[in-house]
């Protein structure tokens, strides 16, 4: 590390979806970034970061990007004393973007270890480094299930959809308390559901919005294969057939307990809004990076029909979904998307008072057919992420 004349930001999560985009944008804006992360069995942290920058079409910038392998679960982030001291001295601000994003209750211990217990060491670092600002990337869903009006305030409920939300809410509270007690200026930035770049469709992660489409495509391909290669016996039994117009007729009801939508934002909007907040932060403030207009699943199903050449997918709103007999395709689909279902009929409205003020009312692109097709084409091209893995990302 070295002296610097642009602010230096210690960034965690730079090997992930949101963090990598923040890293690329910060470098673009002239910041000095210290990426704090871990290696994998196949690559060191600096190799991983170089691969990611290559995906962005960028070289590793000389003198403005350092990578340091750390371990959050250890004191001094697992660094030896001189290295830790050097890191403290070099860091002006921190963006803590790393998180275990699993929704699985089976992984509760691991999720809490990564998202909550590790904060002891990260916040100690914030204090030791006397950071000018500590920015925490949380999630809008940390507000929990406490009614539909979500304020830009700390969570005040114990009712959450999954362990991920619960851990993020606990992390917010721990961060706010520690930072107030230690006079560390801080912000909490809460995106809703982030998808790829609205202009290019590029993405590094294919969950949430992508998951129902990927699941449907997998089910479609099972039946297409049956029709093309096995005489279509199974398809016939399940009432599935090829239409004359080349569409697959696949009767599949998605039963949702109530009407609602998905609160989607594209990654380009997330980055722009987060950077504006980071450049003009209000201490102790929480910012919802959300969409004023959630997207209804019906809309996505309509966009998907010509994209996938599948007919028969239908949204049904009924608060007794257990009353519906499920055909094998529906059973498979339900199983695939179980973890994401609560986000597909969400009525929560995210207050954006702080965000609108800090970002001069910057808004996300309206989700539409073109954006859907762009994003899904890229996802298919990247084999839903498998191809990126082969590129070492
Ligand atoms: N994606 C969304 O739609 C969304 C929406 C709202 C909020 N968020 C928030 O945005 C942040 C980033 O999410 P993301 O979607 O970018 O997640 P992601 O792609 O899964 O990336 C997670 C990042 O955290 C790192 N990480 C996880 N556990 C770690 C641990 N124990 N020690 C060190 N590093 C660890 C990962 O490192 P490795 O690469 O080494 O595993 C990776 O860099 C999270 O705080 C998440 O809560 C995301």
What residue segments make up the domains of the chain, in order of their start? 8-200+263-293+347-368+380-390, 210-260+295-345
CA contacts within 13 A on the Cβ side of 292: 10
Cα of 66 vs centre of ligand 1, distance in Å, is 19
The DSSP bridge pattern shows strands 241-242 and 248-256 to be antiparallel
The answer to whether the CB of 285 falls within 8 A of the CB of 293 is: no
Instruction: Write the CATH number of the domain with boundaries 8-200+263-293+347-368+380-390.
Output: 3.40.50.720
Q: How many CA atoms lie within 13 A of 253 on its CB side?
A: 13
| CA–CA distances in Å: residue 64 to residues 1, 86, 216, 392 | 9, 16, 43, 22
What does the DSSP 8-state code read for residue 93? Answer: E
Tell me if 205 CB under 6 Å of ligand 1. yes
Token representation of residue 341: 């279902």
Kindly state if the Cβ of 101 falls inside 6 Å of ligand 1: yes
Whether ligand 1 lies within 6 angstroms of the CB of 165 is answered as no
Bridge partners for 313 per DSSP: 252
Ligand 1 pocket member 18 (CB < 6 A): yes
**Which of 368, 305, 55, 340 is closest to 202 using CA atoms?**
55
What is the predicted pLDDT for the residue at 315?
A: 95
Residue of 51, 98, 125, 209 best suited for mutating to test ligand 1, as the one with most atoms within 8 Å of CB: 98
Q: Is 391 exposed, middle or buried (0-12, 13-18, 19+ CB in 10 A)?
A: exposed
38 CB within 6 A, ligand 1: yes
273 token code pair: 């809004």
Tell which atom from ligand 1 comes closest to the C-alpha of 164.
Answer: 47
Is the CB of residue 116 below 6 angstroms from any atom belonging to ligand 1? Answer: no
Mean pLDDT by 10 residues, the chain (393 residues): 72 98 97 98 97 96 96 97 98 98 98 98 98 98 92 96 98 98 98 98 97 97 98 96 96 93 97 97 98 95 98 94 92 95 93 97 95 98 97 93
Of ligand 1's atoms, which has the minimum distance to the CA of residue 118?
31
Q: What separation in Å is there between the alpha carbon of 339 and the centre of ligand 1?
A: 17
């Amino acid at each position: 590390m070295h002296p610097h004349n642009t602010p230096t930001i210690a960034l965690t999560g730079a090997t992930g979806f949101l963090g990598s985009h923040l890293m690329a944008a910060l470098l673009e804006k002239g910041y000095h970034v210290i990426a704090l992360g871990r290696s994998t069995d196949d690559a060191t942290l600096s190799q991983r970061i170089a691969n990611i920058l290559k995906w962005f079409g960028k070289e590793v910038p000389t003198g403005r990007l350092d990578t340091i392998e750390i371990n959050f679960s250890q004191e001094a982030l697992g660094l030896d004393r001189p290295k830790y001291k050097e890191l403290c001295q070099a860091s002006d601000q921190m963006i803590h973007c790393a998180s275990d994003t699993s929704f699985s209750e089976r992984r509760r211990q691991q999720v809490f270890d990564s998202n909550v217990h590790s904060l002891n060491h990260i916040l100690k670092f914030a204090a030791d480094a006397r950071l000018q600002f500590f920015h925490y990337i949380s999630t809008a869903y940390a507000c929990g299930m406490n009614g539909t009006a979500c304020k830009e305030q700390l969570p005040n409920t114990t009712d959450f959809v999954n362990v991920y939300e619960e851990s993020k809410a606990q992390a917010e509270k721990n961060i706010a308390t520690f930072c107030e007690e230690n006079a560390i200026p801080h912000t909490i930035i809460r995106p809703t559901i982030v998808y790829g770049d609205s202009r290019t469709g590029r993405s590094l992660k294919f969950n949430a919005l992508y998951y129902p489409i990927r699941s449907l495509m997998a089910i479609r391909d099972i039946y297409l294969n049956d029709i093309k290669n096995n005489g279509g016996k199974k398809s016939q039994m399940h009432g599935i057939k090829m239409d004359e117009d080349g569409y697959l007729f696949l009767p599949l009801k998605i039963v949702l307990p109530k009407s609602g939508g998905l609160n989607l934002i594209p990654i380009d909007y997330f980055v722009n809004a987060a950077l504006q907040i980071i450049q003009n932060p209000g201490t102790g403030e929480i910012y919802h990076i959300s969409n004023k207009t959630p997207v209804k699943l019906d809309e996505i199903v309509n966009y998907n029909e010509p994209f996938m050449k599948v007919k028969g997918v239908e949204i049904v709103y009924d608060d007794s979904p257990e009353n519906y007999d499920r055909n094998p395709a529906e059973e498979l689909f339900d199983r695939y998307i179980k973890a994401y279902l609560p986000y597909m009929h969400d009525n929560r409205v995210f207050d954006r008072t702080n965000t609108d003020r800090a970002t001069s009312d910057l808004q996300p692109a309206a989700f539409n057919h073109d954006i859907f097709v762009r994003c899904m084409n890229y996802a298919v091209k990247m084999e839903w992420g498998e191809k990126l893995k082969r590129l070492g990302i």
